[in-house]
Amino acid sequence: MKAHSSFSMLALIAVSVLSCSTPDKEANAPDKKDRDMFGYKYARGLTITTEGITNGYVMFAVPNSPFIYLINRKGEVVHQWKGNYGVMNSYLQDDGSIILQADDPDYPVFGEGGPYGRIQKINWDGKMLWDFEYATEEYIVHHDIAVLPSGNILAIAYEAKSFEEAIAKGRKPESTVADGPWLEKIIEIEPQGKHHGKIVWEWHLWDHLIQDHDPTKANYGVVKDHPELLDFNLGLKAEPVISEDSLDILKEKGWAERNTTVGNRGSGIFHFNAINYHADLDQIVVSSPEVGEILIIDHSTTTEEAAGHKGGKSGKGGDFLYRWGNPGNYHRGDSTNRQLFYQHDVRWIEKGKPGEGRLTVYNNNIEGRKDSLNYSAIYEIQTPINENGNYLIENDKAFSPERPFWIYVAPDTLSFYSSFISGAHRMISGNTFINEGARGRFFEVTPEGKTVWEYLNPYHGDIHKPNGDPVNPRDMPYSTFRSTYIAADHPAFIGKELKPLDPQPNVFKLPPPEEKKKM
């Protein structure tokens, strides 16, 4: 189902739990009894602007739409690109083109967990330059990409494994879905022509798994002694078995994807949702929300080295160089040491920006006290990296740091919360740009945590389901996977006249909720 392909089942269920019911409540005022995570009642458009904002623009994909908008800091749309499918996210290039993740309407097999199937390049004037499909019954690109300096593209992809393959690798049968799990891989694509791409490098999580469940399997070992490997028995467990009729009801309500079956619910067991690249280190960082960790690997390897445990600048092949967020995963901590909860959008702070070389991550779902509610935070993390690009770890201890270098939470905690999607990145001024995804809220905060700019996406498209049915516009109408601050001096804007479009695009008017039928 096109409108929800980037959202997890957890988020879909949250619609019924967290949606609003009192339309006369004052806008922009949180209420513990009636938490409006999806922004049904909030004022939209530009809501806060001050003298302290960083000059530039904001780019975001319009939900349920083929449009990507560029707005100025007054909240006016100054440019738009249009694809031919729904857009999950896009990256602006120096020539004014964008490389985007396009939601193919007929990819097979894969359902929940953010699959989209196509990567495209569209120039400033809207011409399709490249349209590459990577979607079969065996694999599909999902969630995120990273554009390399060479122009090649790193993409996260699922690769389907059978139930039998998973058990042979040491996965517990009771934790394994009937149709088998979808394991993560990373591919590097060299665009060729208008519709083709050559895979020039790849890395497979399958090659870097350990387990302490079945001693008869080759990857059996002591998890605590191997923080460079991921325990195969982590991640999502098998969903309770349901009937076809129950699944049909979930699909009708928008709580299951069109390709979801009774046998593949929960197949995306690790669910990587972000990828970022550091050119100087030649390293890749990814995020796995299902295990509450960010993980770094070496990109300087060959594909053959990436499948093993030696080679590359690190000398460690494709094994994990660093991991952070949940040391209990490698038995060097417990639940009290966990720091990341369903996190998104990990990335290095770019060169020249305050904090360069550190990592930022959107920590979605920090658990509140029993008398409170969950909330979100932005973390800035100083990794224990040395001058050779290696990450230090002491014997029997977890990777440092024990706490983030910098944390942003809302002054009242509760008013900043999105349990899924979302992101954050550092600006040249030292401020931090944040996308509170569920609500479609974009805002800029100072290092001291003061909000100096805020804009709530007022747009929503009208893409229909593959069978022609309309998408319920009340299901997360403004939710935005990512939004991106673009500096005013970005090379893409050289020679461009960025005037507000006249007329401006029509804002979306949320229809009233359907009345419940009396029994």
The pLDDT confidence band at residue 515, using thresholds 50, 70 and 90, is: low
Name 353's Cβ contacts closer than 8 Å, sequence gap at least 6.
426, 427, 428, 430
pLDDT higher at 4 or 191: 191
pLDDT, tens digit, for every residue of 383-393?
A: 999 999 999 99
Return the closest-CA partner of residue 449 out of 476, 412, 497.
Answer: 412
pLDDT (0 to 100) of residue 413: 87
Per-residue model confidence as pLDDT tens digits over 54-111:
999 999 999 999 999 999 999 999 999 999 999 999 999 999 999 999 999 889 899 8
* Strand pairing category for 230-231 and 209-210: parallel
Residue percentage of the chain with pLDDT more than 70: 92
Question: Average pLDDT, stretch 195-218?
Answer: 98
C-alpha–C-alpha distance, residues 207 and 47, integer Å: 49
The residue-averaged pLDDT of 415-441 equals 97
- The residue with tokens 């409540």 is 25
The predicted-structure confidence for 436-472, as pLDDT tens digits, reads as follows 999 999 999 999 999 999 999 999 999 988 888 888 8
Residue 370: pLDDT band (50, 70, 90) is low
Residue 519 has pLDDT above 70, yes or no: no
Mean pLDDT computed over 164-176: 97
Q: What does the pLDDT average to over 373-380?
A: 95
Say if residues 332 and 397 touch (Cβ distance below 8 Å): yes
Architecture of the structural domain at 2-493: 6 Propeller (2.120)
How much is the pLDDT for 371?
64
Q: Is the pLDDT of residue 415 over 50?
A: yes
Rounded-to-integer distance, Cα 405 and Cα 360, Å: 10
Taking only the tens place, the pLDDT of each residue in 107-138 is: 989 987 789 999 999 999 999 999 999 999 99
DSSP 353-375: STTTT-EEEEEEEEPPPTTS--E
d(CA 414, CA 412): 6
If one compares 404 and 22, the residue with the highest pLDDT of the two is 404
Q: Is the pLDDT of residue 23 over 60?
A: no
pTM: 0.92
Measuring CA to CA, how many Å separate 513 from each of 27, 91, 169, 328, 473?
Answer: 18, 35, 48, 43, 10
Q: Return mean pLDDT, the chain.
A: 91
Helices (H), 83-152: none
What is the arithmetic mean of pLDDT over 351-368?
95
- Indicate if the pLDDT at residue 359 is higher than 80: yes
Residues 6+ apart with CB under 8 A from 328: 334, 335, 337, 338
The pLDDT-based confidence of 516 (bands split at 50, 70, 90) is low
Least confident piece of the model among 29-38, 224-233, 404-413: 29-38
Residue 513 DSSP SS3: coil
Beta-bridge partner residues of 36: none
Q: Sorting pLDDT into bands at 50, 70 and 90, what band is 255?
A: confident
> CA angle at residue 99 from 98 to 102, to 5 degrees?
115
- Give the residue-averaged pLDDT of 267-296: 97
Q: What is the pLDDT of residues 491-510, one digit of tens each?
A: 999 999 999 999 999 999 98
